Structure 1
Amino acid sequence: MTAVRVREMTPADCDRVGRIRVGGWRAAYRGLVPQSYLDAMDPARDAAGHRARLARRPGPVLDLVAEQDGDVVGWACHGPYRDGDTHTEDAELYALYVDPGRYGGGIGRALLAESAGRCATAGHPRMLLWVLKENTPARRFYERAGFRPDGAQEPFEADGVAVPEVRYVRRLTA
């Protein structure tokens, strides 16, 4: 296998990113989110949402993809931290997903490092993210990368079921 290359996402990547995101949800959130919610996820609808968002650019949100051996194998998205309807000076990692068949190969680390680096260069003092409270592997991943829970919690609703999320934070340095 070759090294992971991270670059900005293009409309041509949307179908693959849709499959990665839906596959990531189904693999990582099985047993944590109602199965009916996971089963209803549609990679084509997800890809269409990505294409529509990319068409609205420029904006403060940046999508990155990771490539390995010529294939898109991961996706991350970051932008300003959302506190209700307002953006703060902090950055937020909105999403990070890796093709479930490629877990453990450094793809997530490469995407996270690139996102955090770009946010630090842009002058954001911290990066925050939300993760499912019971998603122990993801929480360990973020903790190894220097993120720590800050005590904030809020539920995410999936098919009428409240799924608790916890917020993590990490200081950024330029």
Structure 2
Amino acid sequence: MTAADIEAVAELRVRAWQSAYAGLLPAAYLSSMSVEEDAAARRRMFAASDGTIVNLVAEAEDGGIAGWAALGPYRIEGPHGRGGPAGGAELYALYVRPDVLGTGVGRLLAGACLARAAASGASRIALWVIGGNARARRFYERAGFTLDTLEDAESLDDVAGTPVTVVRYTRPLLTGAV
């Protein structure tokens, strides 16, 4: 991802949340999401990046952005940062435009993220997903992730006053893979 992609990634992220999380997160929260605010947050994160977070985009045939993923070191601190794979990587986000779901864009991005994480020396990768997001859970399970059964692998988040359960998935990596 380059700085020039930030607006398109923000648009994709907001539309993907509104589509994927309908019925899982409060409707008022989803409808209030702002592409402008998300883009501003992405610009701040992009500018502050020390190179440990990798943002990847998948280009669509029309030249736009079809998908976006972000990964980096497993966050020990933060909303879900307990436990997890020591020295491991974390897939922070993977979103695909709703109109290209099921076309392989997500699989390509996931594969690129797994290869990058392995090449960085991580032996495991983790991610967090909303417990009720059956489609995402099936996607990650097909990509080789398994539900983490450790005590700290479930967290209760508050989204606009609504409790939302998130669960951790992990998978081993072949270190040195490219």
Normalised TM-score (structure 1): 0.91
The structure where strand makes up a greater share of residues is 1
Match of 1:63 among 44, 55, 64: 55
Query: Partner residue of 2:169?
Result: 168
- Alignment RMSD: 1.4
Match of 1:80 among 73, 77, 86: 73
Which runs of 5 or more structure 2 residues have no equivalent in the other structure? none
Query: Partner residue of 2:96?
Result: 98
Query: Secondary structure in 2 aligned to 1:118?
Result: helix
1:34 aligns with 2:26: yes
| CA displacement, residues 121-163 of structure 1 (integer Å, 9 cap, x when unaligned) | 0100101000000000000000000000012100121101110
Query: Secondary structure in 1 aligned to 2:122?
Result: coil
Identity of aligned residues (%): 46
Query: Secondary structure in 2 aligned to 1:22?
Result: helix
1:146 aligns with 2:144: yes
Q: Distance in 2 between matches of 1:21 and 1:40?
A: 13
The amino acid that maps onto 1:80 is P
The amino acid that maps onto 1:125 is S
Query: Partner residue of 2:156?
Result: 155
1:116 Cα deviation (Å)?
0.7
1:52 Cα deviation (Å)?
1.4
Query: Secondary structure in 2 aligned to 1:53?
Result: helix
Query: Partner residue of 2:125?
Result: 127
Counterpart contact for 2:8–2:64, Cα < 8 Å: no
1:11 aligns with 2:3: yes
1:59 Cα deviation (Å)?
2.9
Q: Distance in 2 between matches of 1:168 and 1:67?
A: 27
Which stretches of structure 1, 4 residues or more, deviate above 3 A after TM superposition?
Answer: 85-88
The amino acid that maps onto 1:122 is S
Q: Distance in 2 between matches of 1:12 and 1:84?
A: 30
Query: Secondary structure in 2 aligned to 1:105?
Result: coil
Query: Partner residue of 1:4?
Result: none
Normalised TM-score (structure 2): 0.89
1:24 aligns with 2:22: no
Which runs of 5 or more structure 1 residues have no equivalent in the other structure? 1-8
Counterpart contact for 1:82–1:88, Cα < 8 Å: no
